[in-house]
Amino acid sequence: MIQPTIETKHLSQYHDVALNIHSYMERSFCVDGAIIGPDPGVRFNYRIWRFLKGYTPWITWNDGLYYLQCQGYWVMANWLLSQEPDDRYAQIALAATDKIVERQRADGAWDYPNPEWKGRVATVEGTFASFALLEAFRRTGRDEYLQSALRYHDFFSNCIGFQEYQGTTAVNYFAGRHSNPVPNNSSLILRYLANLAQATGEPSYAEKCDSVVDFLLKFQQPSGELPYVVDDPRMLHFQCFQYHSFIYLDTWNYYRMSGDQRVLPILQGVLRFLEGALDPSGYGYYQCDQRYRTVNYHTAAIATALHTCDDIGLSQEKVSHYRALAQRAYQYLFKQQHADGSFSHSRGDYHVISDHRRYPRYLAMMLYHLLCTAQKR
């Protein structure tokens, strides 16, 4: 009998943990094809109120929210699990994608779910809806998914758009609201535009990418860090390690689709920064100045970024180093999974309390990142 290698064992473990998350999410949050549930990102959940909900699980809280970011991760994860064009995971992915189309407004946008931000349209929400739509189009060839994605692109181009910033180009965060640019939002747009250009066969969709890359190169520090918000010292390190993980993964996906080697210094620099993101025990730090607090999905994102380090011009020694850090983080994470397949959100908040609730948006992120690692993307 051939014994599996250590690497194979690890990858199988990632897959098993992911399947348990999937089962929990399907049981707990799947409503008519959509994933609906609580979320900590709502202002009314901030501070002690959010933690009170976690410590009173016998109360049914009416806070089911529909985040497109959650739907996007959920759809992409189910396609990664799918082995046949019409298997159960494909059907789950298509049902969720159909809900995205159904909820799209006539102008091509989707409403932001936060009740206190009613009427706003966030770049991140439409972008993740588009990821789901474009993946469904790639898998099935159904034109309605592509047309939905193109309707959003029309809204994005006309109502959200870009801002010229110090000789470079950055994406706006909300439709109709000007603010200093956010680098992790611009790296997400690189991935989005390359994805759209690839799906349509029209390179013109990616014509802004060169100047967006200029923006990231201009504001990356020698340490590899980019500010959360440019030219705002108060927001320099905000949740810096998770956001740099997303900057890395989105820029890596852009590089994989475009072959644009100008982003290699960005990717290499971000990995240097992420070397300091983990506690010796394996958990990911919340941010540079809050190392006592940890969020499980942050650890998963950091681990996936560190693991996805090949093919960017690094030595084999560096690749092995980053992969070892990723393995440390994932081994910590696996120990946090509950028997029902779920993960609590965080611990060490305000040093002494934890958020015990299960949030589908962040479970979907963990699910997708685990599967990406398991399939050695």
Q: Say if residue 359 is exposed, middle or buried (CB neighbours under 10 Å; 0-12, 13-18, 19+).
A: buried
CATH number for 296: 1.50.10.10
Q: If residue 31 lies in a helix (H) or strand (E), which one and from where to where?
A: strand 30-31
The verdict on residue 229 lying in a domain is yes
**Domain extent at residue 154:** 65-337
Find out whether 336 and 296 touch, Cβ atoms under 8 Å.
Answer: yes
The verdict on residue 301 lying in a domain is yes
The verdict on residue 9 lying in a domain is no
**pLDDT tens, residue by residue, 331-376:** 999 999 999 999 999 887 777 778 888 999 999 999 999 999 998 6
pLDDT at residue 47, rounded to an integer: 61
Give the C-alpha separation, 151 to 13, whole Å.
40
The verdict on residue 242 lying in a domain is yes
Q: DSSP state, 289?
A: T
Number of domains into which the chain is organized: 1
Residue in this structure with the two tokens 């390190």, named with its chain if needed? 237
Find out whether 294 and 348 touch, Cβ atoms under 8 Å.
Answer: yes
pLDDT at residue 352, rounded to an integer: 79
Q: pTM, whole model, 2 decimals?
A: 0.93
Give the C-alpha separation, 221 to 199, whole Å.
33
pLDDT at residue 109, rounded to an integer: 96
SS3 content of the chain, % helix, strand, coil (to 5): 60, 10, 35
The verdict on residue 26 lying in a domain is no
The verdict on residue 44 lying in a domain is no
The verdict on residue 364 lying in a domain is no
Buried b (16+ CB within 10 A) or exposed e, 282-314: bbbbbbbeebebbbbbbbbbbbbbbbbbeebeb
The verdict on residue 346 lying in a domain is no
Q: What are the residue ranges in the chain where pLDDT is below 50? A: 1-9, 377
Phi, psi of 359, deg, nearest 5? -110, 120
